[in-house]
Amino acid sequence: MNSIIKVEMFKMFKRRIFIGIILLSSFSLIYALGIYFKWQFILINGRLDVISFATSMWALLMMLGIPLVLFSFLGASILGGEINEGQILLEIIRTKSREKLVIGKFFAVSLVLIICYMLNIVLSTLFYTIFVANSEHGQGLLVDFKRYHLHLVLQSAAGGIFLLLFITVGMFFSISFGTFRAVIFSMLLFVGLKFIANIDSINKWLPGYYTLVDDSDYSSLVMIYQLVLIIVLSILVLIMTNRQMGKKDL
């Protein structure tokens, strides 16, 4: 399994995926420079501490849908893309197991997701320290940790966990429909969930509740349910992907 993950990571490195990850993680630099140089198109209300700034930058990326498209694409291209190119046969021969290959590819993309999320937080913190902390919209480096900070951190982390589901969805659809259509299906799924999330009576039971709904319920029961739901759904889709891969005529 470790060898599969290492090979997939190396292939993504050769495809310059990590350049895109670094650029995506540096998104907060635009806002930090905008605050520092007082650019008019950067609108900031009130003052921000480092936790609010870092988590808000990730939340903004999620709102724009950039991580959703990127990781759905990575999940789809790492499996369906290689099926279409015929490269998957060599990998199956090398690993001697389609199931291990699929799981290894999932873990590889998930590792990239973790790297992207952590790098985003680290760079946002760095840019805040350099450009925002001592500006008119900054609050310095000391943080008086309050309950709403915990909500921001939980919402940010929940967004990253939610993307795990879309990695598996992209992988599943890519086997039969290819990379491009798999990404489209993933986006349609997100739009559908976003639409249903407007129904207050059921939105907290939907996967990705903390990403889909702004005014969320942070009770322990709902948080545990959401975590278990995403993990279970990701495992189920991964099982379906393995079965689909087993039936695929290569």
Q: What is the DSSP string of 4-38?
A: HHHHHHHHHHHTTHHHHHHHHHTTHHHHHHHHHHT
> How remote is the C-alpha of 113 from its chain's centroid?
6
pLDDT digits (tens, 9 = 90+) for 69-100: 999 999 999 998 888 887 887 787 777 788 89
H helical segments located in 128-219: 147-196, 209-212
pLDDT band at residue 21 using 50, 70 and 90 as cut-offs: very high
pLDDT digits (tens, 9 = 90+) for 199-249: 988 999 999 999 998 888 888 899 899 999 999 999 999 999 999 988 877
pLDDT digits (tens, 9 = 90+) for 25-64: 999 999 899 888 878 777 777 788 899 899 989 988 998 8
Whether the Cβ atoms of residue 138 and residue 48 lie closer than 8 Å to each other: yes
Beta-carbon count within 10 A of 86 CB: 9
State how far the Cα of 162 lies from the Cα of 231, in Å rounded to an integer: 9
3-state SS string for 206-220: CCCHHHHCCCCCCCH
Q: Which of 179, 153, 194 has its CA nearest to residue 78?
A: 179
The overall pTM is greater than 0.75:
yes
Domain borders along the chain are: 2-247
State how far the Cα of 193 lies from the Cα of 169, in Å rounded to an integer: 14
% of the chain with per-residue pLDDT over 90: 52
